[in-house]
Amino acid sequence: MRGRAVSAVRAVRVTFGLLGEVEVRCDGQLLDLGAKQRAVLAVLVSEPNTVVLRHSIVDAVWDVEDRGRLNVQKLVTDYLSRIRASLRAAGIGEELVRLIATRTEEPGYRIEIAMHSPEVTIDWQEFRRLRDRAKAAHDANDLDDAERLYEQALALWRGPALAGLGVSPLRAMRERMTSQRLNAAEQLAAIHLDREQPTRAVAVLEQLAAEHPGRERIAALLIRALDRVGRRDEASVAYLNTRTHLNAEYGFEPGGELEQAHREVLRGRQPVPETPVLNNLPPDTPHFVGRGSYEEDLCAQLLQSDSTPGAVVICAVDGMAGIGKTALAVHVAHKLAPEFSDGCLFLDLRGFTAGTTPMTPEQALDVLLRRIGIPGRQIPGDLDDRASLWRAELASRKILLTLDNAAGSGQVEPLLPGAGGSRVLITSRNNLTSLDDARHVSLDILGLADARTLFHRIAGAQRVIGMSDSVGNVVRLCGYLPLAIRIIAARCRSYPLAELEKALTAEYERLAEIDDGDRSVAASFTISFDGLSVQQQGFFRMLGLHPGQEIGSQAAASLTDLDMGTAARFLQLLRNANLLEYNGDGRYRFHDLMRAYAKGLAAQEPSSGQRAALRRAAAWYLHAAALTDTLFAPYRERVPLLAQTPRVALPEMSTIDDALKWCDMERANVLAMVGAAHANGDHDIAWQLPALLGEYLYARRHLPHWLSTHEIGLASARELGDKIGESWMLTNLAIAYVELERFEDALQALEIAVSTLRVRIDAHPSDRTASHLLGVALTFSGNALEGQGMPLPAIQFHEEALAINESMSNAWATVWVLGNLARANLRLERPDPAIAYLRRAVAGHKQLNNEWRMGTALTDLGHALECAARHQEALESYRDALRIHRRVGGRWQEARTLRLMSAPLRALGHSAEADEHAELAGHILRQLDDRRSV
């Protein structure tokens, strides 16, 4: 921890108390802090050495009404200043405790505490440490140690968590902490019962059951404990009280464990068989939904015989954190339990468990051998000897072995039976690909219907009646991830759904909301992240900066400043760890919540590093888009690229089809990158990238994207004071406005562009880019006037544009203007000059090898010929155009041509064919959701 020299600081012992009244003591003396100061301090101390944003402190400490009438932002600063002064006055040096403000986009604060110093204690952190050690001991079947550690942990509680602050402040924190206390108490009571100490279990449970009448597991444990000490009537009363409370408060009946405990009381305790069938499966969840196909597949595979005699059937289920692997495995194991005469064994290998290290194979074999009855003194110390003994013991048994939460294949392989009728079901966050003989199942998120069902079952259907849309939105914001849905649905029992929905909507707060103290999606993700190497962690963080939905190895290499081979390997490693999803075609994406987690990590990087990474990625997309632009319009004046050529290889493209494929695949990423470049201050890229996409967006009719990206580009060009960039954006915006028949908007934009370009050309007569843009702006001014019903003045603009283009020998722009002149002449019912212009245009496009535009010119030529009643010639031109539109993927132009073909077909007596063409045109336009006339 960082520290600064502080004069006259004596050695002190500091204790922070959250498990009871919130307090700070220095050498046993209580510091005098007000209630709100203690509340603010509690928020920071609950997560020491972690940045807490100011809005999170405000939300935790002040009610909604207070936030509206008080200047709570200033109050936070004032209270923190007073806390800092009180710590200093008590003689607490900054080498032990230091309260600092952090420099982030939103103000935040961090309390730096020397957690490993014996002079500083936080009872909440100590409780969690002892609880985690107790859980690890329990998992290892060391009941002595587990019992002792749980008792030490619970002894730290001096009363209700965060007491003395009023009802509302820190309510969510209090509930999470209380939940963890109750879980620990339940575990301790269960251990007392396992060790035949029911009196001690009653002592733990009685007061807690009175304080928490709706806590089913406490009630179930208390009922069993009371029954075992002979207080059967009191056990029945405890059941009835809990059932009544659940019905009154939540509208549902008790769950399976509580009902089972009650049935045991009613029938009396049955003697335990001398040789019980081995089964230590955790309880099956009563809320299991939506895994029907996975369940059927696993059951079928685990029950079938392997084709190799003596081979053991192994199924390995992988998936991201919180996706429900354990729930599925336990559910399947319960369903299959009757098929295994020697029982079911379940072992949590702790591969991804907070606060504990994964079990070693030696430890796991020790636990397994003891569970099947091998005395400890007979268990060898050597791993190979233990594995041999384990395989020998299982050779004559038929058991279902469930190995949950595996860290990797190396941890699992020594635990696998060698032969016999046993079956193995493994779960892991990692894809255990090196288990060659296993049947691998990758678990996906829930579908919408199943996600809704899970939410209803946990929250209680009565609480969300008539709120179907909100439930659907909440499960979507939870990413359809079962753990996230379970947490939010459980919180919905205490909080209004609308309040939870609103809190989840803010992406930067979402992960913080999906946390109930015992369960946290972010904490679960962190365990997976911590399992990566340092370099892989850096790679993962940088991926969080990418603004798009998916990414390939080339873009990832540019973003992270790695070579492409390393980037590709890291992407695959993250996929194997289920931190990324694979989409095919070498492309990867984050789950929605994982993306939010990665963005949070990326935000902690130095701002200079973030900016540099985004510019590298944006430059890669820019130069790749420039490749597509040269293929779509090889003879057009090029956009002047300012960004340095990336060192990562660009995609290989040599044909228009290649360019189309890349643009279709990367469209969402490139569009997102425009906004990201603008926000990052890369204003050159932010206007040049839309300019390079113009041909593609126009051809695919993505006009809303055209508008949104060019509006951003215009703002960036103006930010730079780049007149060429501004004119390019204004001209392109006007093109979209004309297509959308927003002719007045188009003329306003073009007036500015034309004026700016004339000034530029006067000062720099040889500027070909400015002259090219002026020609485009003039001809689209003509198009806009034509759209307003003024073809004669439109022709004047087109002719001026034609003269500029011909003087530059700009063949590409010349043939474009010829088509516009033809259309204006058709408006004046002058088909003959229109036909002449269009024949020149078709020839020009053919010479330029510009199939996109040649197809459009052929369609226009067909229309001009039809206006001259030259039906057969028109039909031939349309058919030539149609072949091109279909070859290059111009769907809107295909529909337009099909619809226009109807007229000459009817004139030539082919009415049925004309109807077919019109119907197909309508079908295409509906697919494109394009309602314009063609």
Phi, psi (rounded to 5 degrees) for 189 = -65, -40
Local confidence band at 7 (pLDDT 50, 70, 90 cut-offs): very low
- The whole-number average pLDDT for the span 122-149 is 88
Give the pLDDT confidence score for residue 869 in this predicted structure: 92
Could you give the CA distance from residue 653 to residue 85 in angstroms, rounded to a whole number? 65
Give the pLDDT confidence score for residue 179 in this predicted structure: 86
Q: Are residues 178 and 259 in the same domain?
A: yes
Give the pLDDT confidence score for residue 268 in this predicted structure: 65
Give the pLDDT confidence score for residue 3 in this predicted structure: 38
Query: Is 553 a domain residue?
Result: yes
Query: Is 525 a domain residue?
Result: no
pLDDT score of 211 more than 60: yes
Residue environment code for 205-229, b if the CB has 16+ CB neighbours within 10 A, otherwise e: bbebbeebbebbbbbbbbbbbbbbe
- The residue among 349 and 140 whose pLDDT is bigger is 349
Two tokens, residue 134: 């107790």
* Domain end residue (candidates: 577, 603, 629): 603
% of residues, the chain, pLDDT over 90? 47
The DSSP string of 623-650 is HHHHHHHHHH-TTSPPP---SPPPSSPP
Half-sphere exposure (CA, 13 Å, Cβ side) for 694? 22
Q: Is residue 817 within 8 Å of 775, Cβ to Cβ?
A: yes
Query: Is 810 a domain residue?
Result: no
Local confidence band at 925 (pLDDT 50, 70, 90 cut-offs): confident
Query: Of 305-319, 447-461, 523-537, where does mean pLDDT reach its minimum?
Result: 305-319
pLDDT score of 267 more than 70: no
Query: Is 821 a domain residue?
Result: no
pLDDT score of 109 more than 90: no
The sheet with strand 23-26 has its strands ordered as: 29-30, 23-26, 14-17, 120-122
Q: Is residue 22 within 8 Å of 163, Cβ to Cβ?
A: yes
Give the pLDDT confidence score for residue 760 in this predicted structure: 94
Residue environment code for 243-267, b if the CB has 16+ CB neighbours within 10 A, otherwise e: bebbeeeeeeebbebbeebbebbee
- The residue among 220 and 761 whose pLDDT is bigger is 761
Half-sphere exposure (CA, 13 Å, Cβ side) for 220? 16
Q: Three-class SS of residue 423?
A: strand
- The residue among 651 and 12 whose pLDDT is bigger is 651
Exposed, middle or buried by CB within 10 Å (0-12, 13-18, 19+), for 881? buried
Q: Are residues 30 and 102 in the same domain?
A: yes
What lies within 8 Å, CB to CB, of 335 at 6+ separation is 295, 299
Give the pLDDT confidence score for residue 624 in this predicted structure: 96
Local confidence band at 860 (pLDDT 50, 70, 90 cut-offs): very high
- The whole-number average pLDDT for the span 190-199 is 87
Local confidence band at 609 (pLDDT 50, 70, 90 cut-offs): very high
Q: Are residues 35 and 114 in the same domain?
A: yes
- The whole-number average pLDDT for the span 328-354 is 91
How many other C-beta atoms can be found within 10 angstroms of the C-beta atom of residue 351?
24
Q: Are residues 131 and 197 in the same domain?
A: yes
Q: Is residue 560 within 8 Å of 620, Cβ to Cβ?
A: no
Query: Is 77 a domain residue?
Result: yes
Query: Of 115-124, 303-312, 592-601, 883-892, where does mean pLDDT reach its minimum?
Result: 303-312
Query: Is 793 a domain residue?
Result: no
pLDDT score of 272 more than 50: no
Give the pLDDT confidence score for residue 4 in this predicted structure: 37
Give the pLDDT confidence score for residue 288 in this predicted structure: 86
Q: Are residues 584 and 642 in the same domain?
A: no
Angle at 846 between CA 844 and CA 848, to 5 degrees: 70
Give the pLDDT confidence score for residue 307 in this predicted structure: 54
Alpha helices in 432-551 (DSSP H): 448-459, 468-477, 482-491, 497-505, 507-513, 521-530, 534-543
Q: Are residues 647 and 599 in the same domain?
A: no
Q: To 10 degrees, what angle do helices 534-543 and 592-602 make?
A: 110
Query: Of 151-165, 723-737, 793-807, 900-914, where does mean pLDDT reach its minimum?
Result: 151-165
* Domain end residue (candidates: 544, 571, 603): 603
Give the structural domain span for 666.
Answer: 606-705
Q: Are residues 209 and 230 in the same domain?
A: yes
Could you give the CA distance from residue 715 to residue 710 in angstroms, rounded to a whole number? 8
Query: Is 2 a domain residue?
Result: no
How many structural domains are present in the chain?
7
Give the pLDDT confidence score for residue 204 in this predicted structure: 86
Give the pLDDT confidence score for residue 167 in this predicted structure: 54
* Domain end residue (candidates: 705, 720, 745): 705
Q: What is the mean pLDDT of the chain?
A: 87
Q: Are residues 136 and 262 in the same domain?
A: yes
Give the pLDDT confidence score for residue 275 in this predicted structure: 44
**This model's pTM is above 0.75:** no
pLDDT score of 345 more than 80: yes
Give the pLDDT confidence score for residue 106 in this predicted structure: 67
Give the pLDDT confidence score for residue 1 in this predicted structure: 36
Checking DSSP bridges between strand 29-30 and strand 550-552, what pairing results, if any? unpaired
Give the pLDDT confidence score for residue 378 in this predicted structure: 86
Model confidence over 808-841: pLDDT tens digits?
888 888 888 998 899 899 888 999 999 999 999 9
Strand boundaries in 528-616, DSSP class E: 550-552, 581-584, 587-589
The DSSP string of 715-773 is HHHHHHT-HHHHHHHHHHHHHHHHHTT-HHHHHHHHHHHHHHHHHHHHH-TT-HHHHHH
Query: Is 389 a domain residue?
Result: yes
Give the pLDDT confidence score for residue 667 in this predicted structure: 94
Give the pLDDT confidence score for residue 252 in this predicted structure: 62
Exposed, middle or buried by CB within 10 Å (0-12, 13-18, 19+), for 739? middle
Give the pLDDT confidence score for residue 276 in this predicted structure: 52
Q: Are residues 633 and 653 in the same domain?
A: yes
Q: Are residues 438 and 303 in the same domain?
A: yes
pLDDT score of 313 more than 70: yes
Task: Tell me the CATH number at 567.
Answer: 1.10.10.10
**Which residue(s) pair with 120 in the sheet?**
14
**Which residue(s) pair with 25 in the sheet?**
15, 30
Local confidence band at 308 (pLDDT 50, 70, 90 cut-offs): low
Q: Is residue 511 within 8 Å of 480, Cβ to Cβ?
A: no
Give the pLDDT confidence score for residue 86 in this predicted structure: 86
**Which residue(s) pair with 426 in the sheet?**
316, 403
Give the pLDDT confidence score for residue 481 in this predicted structure: 94
- The residue among 430 and 239 whose pLDDT is bigger is 430
Top-ranked range on mean pLDDT: pick from 71-80, 104-113, 296-305, 306-315: 296-305
Q: Three-class SS of residue 113?
A: strand
- The whole-number average pLDDT for the span 224-247 is 80
Give the pLDDT confidence score for residue 11 in this predicted structure: 59
How many other C-beta atoms can be found within 10 angstroms of the C-beta atom of residue 74?
9
Give the pLDDT confidence score for residue 271 in this predicted structure: 42
Local confidence band at 92 (pLDDT 50, 70, 90 cut-offs): confident
Task: Tell me the CATH number at 225.
Answer: 1.25.40.10
Model confidence over 45-90: pLDDT tens digits?
888 888 878 878 887 787 766 666 667 778 888 888 888 888 888 8
Could you give the CA distance from residue 12 to residue 90 in angstroms, rounded to a whole number? 9
Q: Are residues 305 and 422 in the same domain?
A: yes
Model confidence over 354-410: pLDDT tens digits?
777 899 999 999 989 988 888 878 889 899 999 999 999 888 888 999 999 999 999
Q: Is residue 193 within 8 Å of 203, Cβ to Cβ?
A: no
pLDDT score of 9 more than 60: no
Q: Are residues 510 and 415 in the same domain?
A: no
Local confidence band at 801 (pLDDT 50, 70, 90 cut-offs): very high
The amino acid at 730: L
Give the pLDDT confidence score for residue 781 in this predicted structure: 95
CA dihedral 334, 339, 341, 345 (to 10 degrees): -30
